[in-house]
A and B are shown apart, each in its own frame.
Chain A
Amino acid sequence: MSILVDQNTRLIIQGISGNEGQFHGGQMIAYGTNVVGGVVPGRGGETCLDRPVFNTVLEAREATQANASVVYVPAAFAADAALEAIDAGLALVVIITEGIPTLDMMTVYWEARHRGSAELAAGGTVVIGPNCPGAISPGKAKVGIMPGHIHRPGRIGVISRSGTLTYEIVNELTVNGLGQSTCIGIGGDPIVGTSFVDALERFATDDETDAVVLIGEIGGTDEEAAADYIKSSFRKPVVGFIAGLTAPPGKRMGHAGAIISGGKGTAAEKIAALESAGIPVAQRPDQIAGLVREALK
């Protein structure tokens, strides 16, 4: 089954004509993702990557029955693009863009929860990201910027706040014969549409996922919330990794959300929270595959 993206995903690319949109659009199509069109205001009627381009998401949806969108629009316009996709009633919006102002993202977050389309379940539109690599269900669909070839179809779910660190770990899993059901990059910003807990809830009911790798980092308390949730209600094995043990307090470590503030959000606290929930936490990325094998026994 996998989660969030699969063969039934009918994807439009917002910003399909830009450098990022064209390059990654081509990569997604080559991977086999069903890209049904693109949206670029003012370029409606043209084609890009052999797909029709529309002025608005609503037009694109009506013409193509799209149910998901991926946003490669520059930061200043990306929140508006996401709001447009939510308003058009798409079930899933994946925001790749880095650098969206936090208050704009807060608006997107609440709009996605409250509005969404009438046809959707009460949860509204699912937003993934921003500042993320996207989501991939290997062999089915890739929505984002991750390198497809390092993934293999399999039964491990991956949830991560990072991009290249996720590739590193997914590659380790693949090399060690552990394929993946779905890998989700939830994003490195302070406010993201899908939290660890949101993603875990989906993996909990996915009969193609046997275990989950959770890759966190300093900043916020999302990993602690995940530890609580796993302890109380998640019945599949989880293996963790937390980046940023050597990060100094008060400094932003690349990601807007990766900052220890007021002494809170340290890697040590997160590791302790996961361990107290019975989750093994790797000290190095190359230990994760081994821990997953152990946990599956």
Chain B
Amino acid sequence: MKIHECQAKTILGHFGVPTPKGHVARTADEAEKVAADLTLPVAIKAQVHVGGRGKAGGIRLARRLDEVAPLARAILGMNIKGSVVRQVLVESGVDIRQEIYVGLIIDRASKHVVLMVSAAGGVEIEEVAAQTPEKILKVALKRHLGLTDYVARRAAYFLGLPPTATRSFVTIARGLYRAFVELDGSLAEINPLVVTGNGELIACDAKMNFDDNALGRHCEVAEMRDESEEEPLETDARHHKVSYVKLDGRIGCIVNGAGLAMATMDVVKHFGGAPANFLDIGGGAKAEQVVEALRIITADPNVNTILFNIFGGIVRCDRVAEGILLAQKKLDLKIPIVIRLSGTNEEIAREMLKDAGLIAMPTMSDACKKAVEMSQQ
């Protein structure tokens, strides 16, 4: 799960990371009120989950108080890569001497949390990694040791920080690490961490992503979810515990299991069609879930064909068939349905579908091919 910069700064503040004074505003008037309590100049920053806000004009500096409202007005409502700006963070400007990068990631290959620092801060770290990898220090942190002082000091020396800033860098890096592990982060970045004119360190931008699997034990983090940043159908699906990702094709796919769902989309593409979505109805595949899945799929106006691919094994195919028939009645479906069912009680399911005028295809490839044909008619 992603959160906004202002939320990440609030969290990091609790863990001893200094951030500029400021507050969030939802209107231009509010922005001016916030700015009135700050020392000028102030930064006005769009709060959206996508990167590249600066380049899109979503971050502006106001040198005078009367500039704040017009700038905030220009940013609010702006569409940045599909995200509409609903709030801005107004905060005191900082005297920048140097910009550095500090980040924590989970490295899947080494199975460690990895600390990354670079003196080339203020730009995307992927860019630095691609062009000047020697400017990045990466340290794998042992699970049972965490981020030790000596590792943080080594990072500070690598960055060439002024001696006075070394101690506060250690505090900041350890605060970032504690926030990461105590709240189950999946990514945490301070970029830039600014060295000010008088040698102090302050986190001018911050980003945190969280492990969805751990949100159950961090209510305070889960409450930070901004559903306006999500695709509405994906939010709807999540509320019904259906795993769904919207794409822009025409064939709505309903599959049990994530790997098979991806493979089904790929085979649809292989036969010249375009999948409208990823959807995994899960291992249980009960009738009610099938109804929910069909409701979500058919809410997408692009969908002109529905493709079921159920490899039962243990899942009872008759239950899935029951769900399809139930959904047909409930939802008044007018879109053609192509079905592939395999597994326990497959024959019973076929009979049930046949009686309702639906045909079950024998194999995955046949079903995908048929769905592509129907979608192109």
Binding site for B on A (CB under 8 A): 27, 75-76, 99-104, 106-107, 109-110, 145-147, 150, 160-168, 171, 188, 190-191, 215, 217-222, 225, 241, 243-248, 251-258, 262-263, 267, 283-286
**Which residue of chain B has its CB nearest to the CB of A254?**
B258
- CB nearest neighbor in A for B267: A284
Q: Which 4 A-B pairs have the closest CB atoms?
A: A162-B259, A254-B258, A164-B257, A147-B313
Chain A residues near B364: list those with CB within 8 A.
168, 284-286
Is chain B's interface secondary structure helix, strand, loop, or mixed overall?
mixed
Contacts of B255 in A (CB 8 A): 164
Cβ < 8 Å to A, chain B residues 189-240: 211-214, 216-217
Chain A's closest residue to B253 (CB) is A246
- The answer to whether the Cβ of B342 comes within 8 Å of any Cβ in the partner chain is yes
Minimal beta-carbon separation of A244 from chain B (angstroms): 4
A243-B313 contact in complex given A165-B257, A188-B259, A215-B259, C-beta closer than 8 Å: no
Take A162-B260, A254-B243 as given contacts and tell me if A220 and B143 are in contact as well, using a CB distance cutoff of 8 Å: no
Would you give the 0/1 interface string for B76-114, flagging 1 where the beta carbon is closer than 8 Å to chain A? 000000000000000000000000000000101101110
Instruction: Using known A-B contacts A150-B313, A254-B243, A256-B212, determine if residue A247 contacts B278 with beta carbons closer than 8 Å.
Output: yes
Give which listed residue, B258, B261, B269, B313, contacts A146 with CB less than 8 A.
B313
The listed residue with most B CB atoms (<10 A of its CB), out of A218, A252, A257, is A252
Query: Closest A-chain residue to B262, C-beta based?
Result: A243
- Nearest CB in chain A: distance from B25 CB, A: 28
- Interface of B with A (CB < 8 Å)? 106, 108-109, 111-113, 126, 142-144, 181, 184, 186, 211-214, 216-217, 243, 245, 247, 255-263, 265-270, 275, 278, 280, 283, 311-314, 342-344, 363-365
**Can you offer 22 A-B residue contacts whose CB atoms are under 8 A?**
A101-B213, A101-B214, A103-B106, A103-B184, A103-B214, A107-B143, A147-B312, A147-B314, A165-B260, A168-B260, A168-B311, A190-B106, A217-B262, A220-B109, A243-B263, A246-B247, A246-B262, A251-B245, A254-B258, A254-B280, A284-B365, A285-B263
* B213 x A27 contact (CB < 8 A): no
Are A102 and B365 in contact, with the CB atoms below 8 A? no
The answer to whether A244 and B213 have CB atoms under 8 Å apart is no
Q: Which chain B positions have C-beta within 8 A of A215?
A: 259
Residues of B within 8 Å of A262, CB to CB, are 126
* Min distance, Cβ B321 to any Cβ of chain A, angstroms: 17
B106-A191 in contact (CB<8A)? yes
Interface centre among A101, A109, A164, A218 (most CB of B within 10 A): A164
Q: Please state if B262 and A167 are interface contacts (CB–CB under 8 Å).
A: no
Contacting pair B247 A106 (CB below 8 A):
no
Closest to A263 in B: B126
Given contacts A27-B314, A147-B313, 14 further A-B contacts (CB under 8 A): A102-B184, A110-B144, A164-B313, A167-B311, A188-B259, A243-B262, A243-B266, A246-B268, A253-B245, A253-B261, A253-B262, A255-B258, A257-B108, A262-B126
**Selected contact of A220 from candidates B108, B126, B142, B283, CB within 8 Å:** B108
B338 to chain A, nearest CB (A): 16
B363/A286 in contact, CB under 8 A: yes
Chain B nearest CB from A18 CB (Å) reads 14
The answer to whether A191 and B214 touch across the interface, beta carbons within 8 angstroms, is: no
The one of A107, A221, A246 in contact with B275, judged by C-beta atoms closer than 8 angstroms, is: A246
Residue of B nearest to A27 (CB): B314
Contacts of A166 in B (CB 8 A): 259
Please state if A147 and B263 are interface contacts (CB–CB under 8 Å): no
Chain B nearest CB from A158 CB (Å) reads 13
**Considering the chains assembled together, what is the distance between the CA atoms of A165 and B126 in angstroms?**
33
A145-B314, A160-B259, A164-B311 known; A283-B243 Cβ under 8 A = no
Docked-complex contact B245 and A76, CB < 8 angstroms: no
What residues of B have a CB within 8 angstroms of the CB of A101 in the complex?
184, 211, 213-214, 217
Contact B108 A221 (CB under 8 A): yes
| Contact call B266/A245, Cβ cutoff below 8 A | yes
Chain B residue with minimal CB distance to A256?
B213
> Bound state CA distance, A225 and B109, in angstroms?
9
B217, A76: Cβ atoms under 8 Å? yes
Chain A hits for B283, CB < 8 A:
145, 163
Closest to B214 in A: A101
CB-based contact B311/A162 at 8 Å: no
User: What is the bound-complex CA distance between A283 and B268, given in angstroms?
Assistant: 11
| A286 vs B366: C-alpha distance when bound (angstroms) | 10
Bound complex: CA A246 to CA B214 (Å): 28
Do B216 and A76 have beta carbons less than 8 Å apart? yes
Given known contacts A106-B143, A171-B342, is B263 in contact with A253 (CB within 8 Å)?
Answer: no
Query: A248 to nearest B CB, angstroms?
Result: 6
Contacts of A285 on B, CB cut-off 8 Å?
A: 263, 267, 364-365
Q: Decide: A246 and B269 in contact? CB cutoff 8 A.
A: yes
Max chain A Cβ within 10 angstroms of own Cβ: one of B257, B269, B313: B313
A164 close to B256 (CB less than 8 A): yes
Please report the C-alpha to C-alpha distance between residue A222 and residue B131 in the assembled complex, in whole angstroms: 24
Q: Chain A contacts of B312 at CB under 8 A?
A: 147
A221: B residues at CB distance < 8 A: 108-109
Tell me whether A255 and B112 are in contact (CB under 8 A). Answer: no
Residues of A within 8 A of B186 (CB): 102
Q: How far is the CB of B264 from chain A (nearest CB, A)?
A: 9
Whether A171 contacts B311 by the Cβ 8 Å rule is yes
Give the docked Cα–Cα distance between A283 and B266 (Å): 8
Question: Are A165 and B259 interface neighbours, CB within 8 A?
Answer: yes
With both chains docked as a complex, state the minimum distance between the C-beta of A184 and any C-beta of chain B, in angstroms.
Answer: 14
The distance in angstroms between the C-alpha atoms of A243 and B266, with both chains bound, is 7
